[in-house]
Amino acid sequence: MKPRIFGIENEYGMVFSPTGRVYLPIEKVIGYIFEGLIPNSWPSNTFLENGARFYQDTGCHPEYATPECQTILELIVHDKAGERLLESCLPAAETRLREEGVSGFISVFKNNTDSLGNTYGCHENFSMNRHVDFWNVTEQLIPFFVTRQIFAGAGKVMKVNGHPHFFISQRAQHIHEKTSSSTTSSRSIINTRDEPHADAEKYRRLHIIVGDSNMSEFVTYLKVGTTAVVLSMIEDGFHIREFQLDDPVRAIREISRDPTLKQKVKLENGQELSAIEIQRAYLERAQAYVDAGREDGVAKDVLQRWAKVLDGLDDDPMSLTRELDWVSKRHLMCSYVEEKGCGWDDPRIAMIDLQYHNVQRSKGVYYLLERHNRMDRMVDDQAIHNAMSTPPQSTRAKVRGDFIRFARAKNRSYTVDWTYLKLNGYWEETILCMDPFKATNMRVNELMEQLPASARWS
């Protein structure tokens, strides 16, 4: 694939279930989660030794932003590492609660809506060349993102006029604009805030806030991979202009409401097409782009999987229970309703809906399916475990991780952001890291040489 930096930010939902009389607000509970990752402190914004950012976002949600990655598989590994890090904090956090006389369990969910109808996001990031026409790219991407949910949605039961209804996407009903610079008050399909976290003269960041958080590794691979190929295609002049939607916001909601995938949406030219038909048009154009020799084997693999999924969705969506989150979840719910003879408003259906996203592998429904070999995987557990403490080795995340390891080993106060590293106090020093592709820094190498070998590679 064209050299590109990838990143995913996930905001997690949290629930505290007391087993005694004392209930703690989530604001307090989050403090114990942070203690598990950053001993003896409660920061609102911190970077970890694996290069990722962990912080408390709006609405008391812990948010994990992956380090910069250059491959999709590497991105999946680090996205899953975020789940594992949060999971690893839970036992110690619950122990601290008991020490303070509070008994209960903390649950963390990788989803996008709570029981009150609030939403929180999953944001995808793709580096772009600053000199590419950003608005031209985004206009051609909007129909793709509106319809991508048919394989990228996480699924959700929500009420319509008081009656339960299954939606393909959790985020679709919360989208209000085509484009916007806001991520909260006017959520959009594409976020236009120009915040490159890199050299602004060379790079721009495509910030996508329309997607769902996914448990399925296959879905993450497909949604990021297809987006990367389509983005490269448009950047290189393989345009696809004839599928502009008449009302993208209305279209994204209509598509989400129809798990049969028969719903057609109106284009600006008056034509009406289904989401599958629009996705096939992007696939055909992307195939022509790849056949022209503009992409590599990874792109070809993405296109093969994309075609297979669209064929499956067209024939029988339930044939994709191993691959797609929303299909797997809906299949579980349909089976449960049939077996128990209950309605879709049964509290146990709501529990399946929620527990599918539980990151605690001993409790999460997704992980139950995974243990029984009912979900396709793209990466292995050892790689995920390594990513909990080791940054990608081909991006500036390695420089950041090395710097943090040095500062902690030397007990030095430090400040870190995406583009700079700073040693505070006496002999204060700031190191700029403006190129996200650059995995080495001479000054950080010099600092690391001050550490014993065991500390450098731990």
Q: Is residue 93, in this structure, part of any structural domain at all?
A: no
Q: Is residue 424, in this structure, part of any structural domain at all?
A: yes
Q: Is residue 446, in this structure, part of any structural domain at all?
A: yes
Structure confidence at residue 43 (pLDDT): 44
Q: Is residue 110, in this structure, part of any structural domain at all?
A: no
Structure confidence at residue 61 (pLDDT): 86
Structure confidence at residue 40 (pLDDT): 55
Q: Is residue 226, in this structure, part of any structural domain at all?
A: no
Structure confidence at residue 185 (pLDDT): 59
Name 300's bridge partners: none
Structure confidence at residue 22 (pLDDT): 78
**What is the domain range of residue 449?**
396-456
Distances (CA, A) of 14 to 27, 449, 457: 10, 41, 34
Structure confidence at residue 183 (pLDDT): 59
Q: Is residue 402, in this structure, part of any structural domain at all?
A: yes
Structural domain count, the chain = 1
Q: Give yes or no for a contact between 248 and 178, defined as CB atoms under 8 angstroms apart.
A: yes
Q: Is residue 236, in this structure, part of any structural domain at all?
A: no
Structure confidence at residue 242 (pLDDT): 80
Distance, in Å, from the CA atom of 248 to the CA atom of 233, rounded to the nearest integer, reads 21
In a structure prediction context, what are the per-residue pLDDT tens digits for the chain, which is 458 residues long? 889 999 999 999 999 998 888 788 888 888 888 877 765 543 446 899 999 999 887 767 899 999 999 999 999 999 999 999 999 999 988 888 888 888 889 999 999 998 788 899 899 999 999 999 999 999 999 999 999 999 999 999 999 899 999 999 999 999 998 887 765 656 889 989 899 999 999 999 999 999 999 999 999 999 999 999 999 999 999 988 788 999 999 999 999 999 999 999 999 999 999 999 999 999 999 999 999 987 789 999 999 999 999 999 999 999 999 999 999 999 999 999 999 999 999 999 999 999 999 999 999 999 999 999 999 999 999 999 999 999 999 999 999 999 999 999 998 889 999 999 999 987 889 999 999 999 999 999 999 999 887 666 55
Q: Is residue 449, in this structure, part of any structural domain at all?
A: yes
Structure confidence at residue 457 (pLDDT): 57
Provide the annotated active-site residues.
57
Q: Is the pTM of this model over 0.85?
A: yes
Distance, in Å, from the CA atom of 421 to the CA atom of 429, rounded to the nearest integer, reads 8
Structure confidence at residue 56 (pLDDT): 82
